Amino acid sequence: MTKLSVNINKIATLRNARGGDRPNVVQTAKDCERFGAEGITVHPRPDERHIRYRDVYDLQEIVTTEFNIEGNPTPDFLKLVKEVRPEQATLVPDAPDAITSNAGWDTIKHKDFLTDVIGELKELGIRTSIFVDPIEQMVEGAAAVNTDRIELYTEAYASGYHQNREEAIAPYLQAALKAQEYNLGLNAGHDLDLDNLKYLHGTLPNLMEVSIGHALICDALYFGLENTIQLYLRQLK
């Protein structure tokens, strides 16, 4: 069964816009788990414009499902991950000024770097995942650096879904089959929502986890957080 990991970055964005501690990031994570989420995802960035490094340490104390920390493996990020030791670290090649993640790794060009980082994390018992575009060569490159999983960057799928969903999903299916060939676990994330999630889930084999934040938090403004999480879980059954 595909797990739903809720990315709570947008909760921190709302908090930071006003200052203070409303909404409370830790309480939101507890509520997400109580409402059925099977994981909590955070993506701290160097400027701490949403999730702060302090938040990550606080969340370490209370997350009882799977804690997934995403980010560019800079020295500061790696220090954080090694100290917190989440169940999963997802390596994302985002620039410091990126509004949101916008590309996957070139796993061939960065083979040596990724191999070293993944080796360090796996020695600590941290499952690793690499953010990649749906390109078969990049999946093969991910297998070569000994990662446990890949996370498919699904923005292109989401953008093309309403025009031609079969065409939009095609490269993702090929990438998923290639991951299966190399015994790589498969995650997916970015711009997934209540419209496009069910088809993705029903098409990709062995999809282990989806990480969803922006759309889910937006939907929660209308449907409420508990109901929204249940709606997303329903798409994964």
Which residues are part of the catalytic machinery? 43, 70, 190
> 91: part of which helix (H) or strand (E)?
strand 88-91
Q: Which residues contact 60 (CB under 8 A, 6 or more apart)?
A: 67, 84, 85, 86
Task: Report the C-alpha gap between 13 and 28 in whole angstroms.
Answer: 13
CB 207 within 8 A of CB 176: yes
CB 58 within 8 A of CB 19: no
Task: Report the C-alpha gap between 178 and 138 in whole angstroms.
Answer: 10
CA 54 vs CA 23, 31, 130, 205, 230: distances in Å: 16, 19, 24, 37, 29
Task: Report the C-alpha gap between 135 and 166 in whole angstroms.
Answer: 17
CA of residue 37 relative to chain centroid, distance:
14
CA 224 vs CA 31, 216, 221: distances in Å: 12, 10, 6
Query: Could you tell me where the DSSP H helices lie in the chain?
Result: 9-18, 25-34, 53-60, 75-84, 111-123, 136-144, 155-160, 165-181, 197-203, 214-223, 225-235
